[in-house]
A = this chain, B = another copy of it.
Amino acid sequence: MHYGGDWNPEQWPEKTWGEDVRLMTEAGITLVRTGTHGWARTEPAPGAWDFGWLDRALDLLADAGVDVVLSTMTGGPPPWLLRRHPEAAPDGTACPSGPVRHTYATRLVEQLARRYGDHPAVALWHIGDVYGSGHGCARPCGCEACEEAFREWLRARYGSLDALNSAWTTAVRSQTYGAWEEVRLPGHAGSAGECAPDPARLLDRRRFTHDALLGCFLAEREVLRALTPEVPVTTGFLPLDGSVDQFGWARHQDVVALGPAAGSGEAAGTGGPLAAAAAFDAARGAGGGQPWMLLDHGPAEGPWPPGALRLRAWQAVAQGADAVLPAPWRQPRGGAGRFRAALVPHAGTASRMFTEARALGHELAAAPAELEGSRVSAVRAALVLDWPSRWALEQSPAAGLDTPGLLLRYHAPLLRSHVTCDVVPPGRDLTGPGYRLVVVPHLHLLSVLDARRLAGYVRGGGHLLVGCCSGIVDESARLHGNGWAAPLRELLGVTVEEPWPLAEGVTVPVEGGPAGSGHGSAWAEVLTLDGAEAVARFTGGPAAGGPAVTRHSYGDGVAWYVATRLDAGALERLLGAACARAGAEPVLPGLPREVQAAERRAADGTRFVLLLNHGARQARCRLPQPMRDVLTPGRDADAPVYQVTLPPGGVAVLSAAPPGT
């Protein structure tokens, strides 16, 4: 397991670097990210390069055996660039469309690649910095270059104005375009039809923004691929951040990374272990199950609570991470982040924080070598998440269904049931990985092709649970023809007669079936059964008397449908029943609700079971078969363990030999 933090030597006098590296060694640090904020130091004036500081910093690390994720530094353009090209940041964040950033950024990356591509410390390139977060390279700013890029993007997507007019249904509000030049980025002065912009146009703005950011990334990646083909590349994202399609982006990364701080920006809801779990499964899903990397993932302000650093680090490992860089290395004296937790806090190395950080380093170093590179196994379920669908949902009366709640609401019950699930995009193969249950929460935008993919999975024996408001619009945010949610009608065995947005605070009661007594909110649908059976019914609200939960036998499988957003308790009961019927079994049976369980399987077949107690009380976990404790220091490595007792925040790593050994 790789372990470390963000080391920013440019923030400190050089004389302190040696002490830093010594402390890293003491704390078991094996990997640091460096250079994130180094552009101004490396290129203090246009084309004037100063690599000496970085040479010395990297050499120090190499000597100490600490590997480096080297940043391309392009997340933080230096002041001279913005002074020279004010148009590069017309509204205070850097514009991704103009030629300026590409020119200067790629020139810098080329220098870095040539100089450090085969430096012994450099293990990985980190490109840019938190795309889409408002840091550094942020969003199209509406300058002329952005407008032009938007039109180019639309030309490439639609080919013709006729296709664009059709996709955007411009006739609906007298916005039919007669020339490409008439098309403007929505949200900017002078844009036509701003009082009620077309949802398709807003959706395409989201897509274009995404692709503009991706373009910045790809321009750098191209340079790196050409010059240092052997060094893998990554970049970190805010957990489940709405502006970047992590699934689409992951195709262009060698390693998926998740960062930075929970609690900042859109990631505000991601502080707890349930939210982290959803984000971690999505990070693993983005990389197709490959080991991923946790970056800079601490509280936005103030310390980690006692034990929290260790628990979160092991949670990442349990969910498939092979590298954990959970915090800055050292708290800076200035800057907006000076109150953020770091491994070496302002209080110094005698502090609780550094003590915990060091203990974690030693613990990770002592963990079995086979754990690294092992894959999360015993995955029995999948959750389908889709960024374009989230973007379309924003433009609909069902906006209240959107993430982070969207994913978390369906993910947490599975986690509490100890059923491991992948979070995957709708285009992913669902039949291969042995999923017993696939959950599709509010997939508002669903292409006919992807709907067929879901049907194929169920026909082949899969179980599927679909949340309301799915399959409503097509890729252009248009209602699918032939009535509501037509692409899912045959599969679900229901027809949506009337979709009802529910005002904030309004709930509708639901009764019956495994969900028991519950209520829905945000959205409710009047259904007619078309082959499915009603498992629960609305007992109030606009669909009173009608089905609220349905089940349909389809091919060799089963398709559930939930016609509202169920409350957490009812949803957990319903998902429990769906798992049971589908044969989606927990990692271990009979575990306490607050314990998270995961299994990783090494290349040699060794099974590791990781147990984490997120609760406030001691938790006793009985093992169905004796295993070995491979974590506790001073343990008898060969003694069979039949039961594990975890204190609050406790972690256990157990192993079982491969079958047949």
Contacts and interface: CB of A to CB of B under 8 A. Distances in A.
A577 interface: no
A331 B173 CA distance: 13
A335 B38 contact: no
B496 A347 contact: yes
B37 A500 contact: no
* Most chain B Cβ neighbours within 10 Å, of A38, A200, A526: A526
A194 B82 CA distance: 12
Contacts of A45: 178
A196 B500 contact: no
A91 B190 CA distance: 6
Given A176-B41, A302-B499, A303-B500, A134 B336 contact: no
A345 B496 CA distance: 12
Given A82-B192, A194-B92, A347 B178 contact: no
Interface in A334-377: 334-339, 345-348, 351-353
A191 B198 CA distance: 33
B10 A334 contact: no
Contact of A175 (B40, B91, B176, B339): B40
B169 A477 contact: no
A177 B198 CA distance: 44
Interface string A486-526: 00000000011111110000000000000000000000001
B76 A334 contact: no
A73 B86 CA distance: 39
A476 to B, nearest CB: 7
Given A83-B181, A175-B79, A176-B78, A478 B334 contact: yes
A70 B199 CA distance: 27
A476 B182 contact: no
Given A89-B190, A336-B197, A478-B334, A303 B542 contact: yes
Q: How large is the interface on A (under 10, 10 to 19, 20 to 34, 35 or more residues)?
A: 35 or more
A135 B196 contact: yes
Interface string A87-106: 00111110000000000000
A156 interface: no
A496 B478 CA distance: 58
Nearest to A334: B169
A305 interface: yes
Given A192-B77, A542-B305, A332 B172 contact: yes
A76 B479 contact: no
Interface string A29-54: 00000000111110011000000000
Interface in A160-176: 168-176
B76 A336 contact: no
Given A175-B79, A176-B78, A481 B40 contact: no
B39 A174 contact: yes
A44 B176 contact: yes
Contacts of A175: 40, 76, 78-79
A508 B89 CA distance: 44
Given A173-B76, A483-B347, A499-B302, A86 B190 contact: yes
Interface string A1-24: 000000010110000000000000
Nearest to A198: B335
Given A45-B178, A172-B335, A178-B44, A352 B8 contact: no
A134 B82 CA distance: 31
Given A86-B190, A347-B483, 5 more contacts: A76-B173, A80-B182, A90-B189, A169-B335, A347-B497
20 contacts: A8-B172, A11-B169, A37-B171, A41-B176, A76-B174, A76-B193, A78-B175, A79-B175, A79-B177, A82-B190, A89-B192, A134-B195, A168-B334, A173-B336, A301-B501, A303-B542, A331-B479, A336-B395, A346-B479, A346-B483
Q: Which 4 A-B pairs have the closest CB atoms?
A: A169-B334, A76-B174, A172-B335, A79-B182
